[in-house]
Structure 1
Amino acid sequence: MKGQLLLTGFLLLLLKVQGQDTSRIKLLMMEGIRFHDQGQYADAVKKYDSVLGIDPDHVIAQYEKSYSLMASKNYKQAIELSQVIIKSKRADSSIMGNAYSTWGAALDEQGDHQKALKVYEEGIREVPGNNMLNYNKAITYLRMNQIDAGISELEASLSKNPVHLSSHFMLGRTMLLKNNKIAALMPYMTYLLLDNRSKRAEDALGEVRRLVEGNAKKTDSNTYHIEISRGALKKRGHKRPADDDFQSISLLFELGGAADASKTEGLLPADRFAGRLASVIELLAGQTGHSGFYGSVYLPFFRGLHEQKLVESFAHHIFSPSGNVMNEVWIQDHREQMEQLRVWTQAYRWPGAGF
């Protein structure tokens, strides 16, 4: 009987200690994350080390520590810890994929691009659904000036996670570098659908406005002329166009700028932008023959916006980063339209894993 009481007391004490450890670990993790978010990476690492002192195999603390090490440019230690995480039996697929991403990114930051690519490829084989491995692989390719390979990886990232903000943003930027304006416009606009509040959203809107509004100029004779990009005037061969080839509408898009400029001259900036954007999306809605990434991801979405008559509210939504007061007034005055946009876009089923 006495032995049973001692055993019961020991078990209760053990449970109490375990409960205290769990609470302590939770608090330390929160403090570590807060330090990391404040850029105090050394302090964050100390907090994670305290967690590992309690539970040496705490895989989330290991990952967060590797992330802080990476941010503080302690690449060697970040790599070593990432390799430990990958071998851990407690690492699920998400943690394992993140560990491969940190390992590859650390190599990339050290200038070892080829080895980074090999790490990403190994990670993709082990965790095929992790889009961040494709995204980071794209960044490495772009740093190597292998633009087409980078674009392919960005598209692969979005095929796995169609709402990944950075992939949309980088695809827009990369297509713009290639002077493929229409192919740049769609990912930039999709980015702004998903994020219209951040500093990066301001940058994205700036590019969209330049693409949508930028080429029409009024002359001294009170007429408009338009600057046509060389890409819009390229001769088309007999080969089937690439999925991201929108030369068929580029000329119409750029010529339409002069006509739209004369129609919208007296409008407020947000209304002028909405009018021009409506013309662009109408052209996109009529596009056929794109059987690859753009044809399966972007064009159906913009076609849907056009068919549901949601383009105007979409235009005002993505114009929000401008901080334009009259745009905010329009949004407040058209709450029903904005709610229709919100409901439709939230219900929209993007193609890809899990969508």
Structure 2
Amino acid sequence: MKQCLLLVGMLGSGIWLHAQDSVRVKTLITEGISLHDQRQYAAAIRKYDTVLRIDPVNLVAQYEKSYSLMASKNYKEAMVLSRAIAENKNAEPGMTGNAYSTWGSALDESGDHQQALKIYDEGIKKVPGYYMLNYNKAVTYFRMNEMEKGIAELKLSLLKNPRHPASHFMLGRIMHYRKNKVAAMMPLLTYLLYDNKSKRAEEALTLLRSIVEGNIRTLDSGKYAVDIAPEVLAGAGKKKATADDDFGSMELLLELGAAAASANAAVKEMLPADRFAYLLKQAFNSLTEQEGHDGFYGSFYLPFFTGMHKKGLTESFAHLVFLPSGNVMNEVWIQDHRGQMEALRTWAQAYQWPVAETVKR
């Protein structure tokens, strides 16, 4: 995945360049990045090649070219260039991590998963704190159907960068697929805190609503029935001591809470976003009472949501994560409650996520 590369120090390896060439190089790289963002990869590569004719050792141009090569599926050339950057002693740690990430991804896309894992490990050894290497390693493991290893790498990615949206999204999606609803709900909610405007955010909200709003259906009699998975009923109150992602008893409460809400005339009359906020509050009430979850979900996610709930920020949070729905009345609510939204933003920005040493994986 591409990281935001600042153009500060762009001419680090070519400081001797004439001032006019320096300005031209900056302009060409900026134009190349713009073309890449427009998916005009071949045109972007031509810009970078022009830079490299002026300054053959320009690391920024090399990196940007490698990324455009990767995006245009020219994996072989992307590997060669990324390897050169990764082995360049003048590259800063962030660029080195980027290079290993692109190198491994090119191998992975080419079908050489085992070699990709080796490159990621080499990169992690050289740049231990670079989270994207763990994220990409997780992607490779999932392609190899090594689910537990992939999940472990996602957790490492989040411990290195708790504000990485894609890691939250992928973890939530996998837990949802596994029908671990509460373990899916927490990373999906966190993902929507950091990204609530993309197409992926729309998918995340759809998955989240299926959890929070439950599987409610109306009977011919006008009464409501809730579909509860047999494994949830069987596991309720029988939490496995070693299964930190097992929130069976709370899942039962979620389903019953959604059913009760659907039978409540006042709740039925609520606007969609308000109803979602109401149900999320009910879910957070249950979360704050959860005990015995001292593994990753319990020590990484639970403190965040219980802390938010105790601060009275759940309603604002619910409306924020509901943004991908495109619901106009939800947007009106946000505009009318700017003070509450600012309080949420301030609290979330200041929140200190747990560090690796305090979290069991």
TM-score (ref. length: structure 2): 0.90
Deviations 1:97-130 (A, max 9, x none): 1111111101111111111111111111111100
Is the Cα–Cα contact under 8 Å of residues 29 and 47 in structure 1 kept in the other structure?
A: yes
Match of 1:8 in 2: none
Which consecutive residues of structure 2, in runs of 5 or more, have no partner in the other structure? Answer: 1-14, 357-361
Q: Does the 8 Å contact 1:79/1:106 carry over to 2?
A: yes
SS at match of 1:47: helix
Structure 1 unmatched runs, 5+ = 1-14
1:60 equivalent in alignment to 2:60: yes
Give the match for residue 186 of structure 1.
186
Contact kept? 1:161, 1:352, Cα under 8 Å:
no
State how many pairs are aligned.
340
Distance 1:58 1:145, change over 3 A: same
Partners of 2:211 and 2:277 in 1: CA distance: 13
DSSP-derived class of the 1:225 partner: strand
Structure 2 match to 1:241: 242
Cα distance change, pair 17–57 in 1 and its aligned pair in 2 (3 A): closer
Aligned to 1:206: 206
Which residues of 2 match residues 124-163 of structure 1 at below 5 A? 124-163=124-163
- The equivalences for 1:9-24 within 5 A come to 18-24=18-24
Q: Distance in 2 between matches of 1:206 and 1:16?
A: 55
Instruction: State whether residues 162 and 352 of structure 1, in contact with CA within 8 Å, keep that contact through their aligned partners in structure 2.
Output: no
Q: Could you tell me whether the CA contact under 8 Å between 1:41 and 1:68 is conserved in 2?
A: yes
2:96 matched to which residue of 1?
96
Partners in 1 of 2:117 and 2:29 — Cα distance? Answer: 31
Amino acid of the structure 1 residue aligned with 2:55: D
Q: Tell me, yes or no, if structure 1 residue 38 matches structure 2 residue 38.
A: yes
Deviations 1:69-103 (A, max 9, x none): 11111111111111111121221111111111111
**Counterparts of 2:351 and 2:222, CA distance in 1:** 44
Hey, which of these two has a bigger chunk of helix by percent?
1
Contact 1:179 1:231 in 2 (8 A): no
CA distance in 2, matches of 1:33, 1:177: 36
Question: Displacement, 1:18?
Answer: 2.2
CA distance in 1, matches of 2:122, 2:164: 22
CA shift, 1:17, in A, is 5.7
- Shift of the alpha carbon at 1:16? 9.9
Q: Distance in 2 between matches of 1:230 and 1:35?
A: 53
Distance 1:16 1:68 in 2: 27
Change over 3 Å in CA distance of 1:321–1:303 after alignment to 2 = same
Report the alpha carbon displacement of residue 182 of structure 1 after superposing the two structures with TM: 0.9
Q: Secondary structure at the match of 2:292?
A: coil
Q: CA deviation at 1:237?
A: 6.2
Instruction: Give the distance between the partners of 1:141 and 1:97, measured in 2 at CA.
Output: 19
Q: Pick from 290, 298, 321: which aligns with 2:293?
A: 290
Counterpart residue number, 2:8 = none
Q: CA separation in 2, counterparts of 1:252 and 1:146?
A: 32
User: Whole-Å Cα distance in 1 between the matches of residues 280 and 238 of structure 2?
Assistant: 29
After TM superposition, the structure 1 stretch with the greater mean CA deviation from structure 2, 228-237 or 134-143, is 228-237
In the alignment, which residue of structure 1 is the partner of 2:105?
A: 105
For 1:325 and 1:155, locate their aligned partners in 2 and report how far apart those are by CA, in whole Å: 35
Name the CA distance, whole Å, in 1 between partners of 2:21 and 2:234: 67
Question: In 1, Cα distance between the equivalents of 2:311 and 2:21?
Answer: 54
* In structure 2, C-alpha distance between the alignment counterparts of 1:311 and 1:178, rounded to whole Å: 26
Aligned residues of 1:197 and 1:320 also touching (Cα < 8 A): yes
Distance in 1 separating the partners of 2:86 and 2:317: 43
Match of 1:221 in 2: 221
- In the alignment, residue 109 of structure 2 is paired with which amino acid? E
> Taking structure 1 as reference, are residues 83 and 17 closer, same or farther at Cα in structure 2, changes over 3 Å only?
closer
SS at match of 1:90: coil
Structure-2 residue corresponding to 1:269: 272
Q: Are the structure 2 counterparts of residues 238 and 284 from structure 1 closer, same or farther at C-alpha, using a change threshold of 3 Å?
A: closer
CA RMSD across the alignment: 1.8
Residue of structure 1 in register with 2:259 after alignment: 258
Tell me the equivalent position of 1:345. Answer: 348
Go from structure 1 to structure 2 and tell me whether the alpha carbon gap of 1:251 and 1:271 turns closer, same or farther (over 3 Å shift).
Answer: same
Alpha-carbon distance in structure 2 between the residues aligned to 1:131 and 1:330:
36
Matched residue type, 1:275: Y
| Aligned AA (1:219) | L
Q: Does 1:304 align with 2:313?
A: no
2:334 alignment partner, one of 325, 331, 335: 331
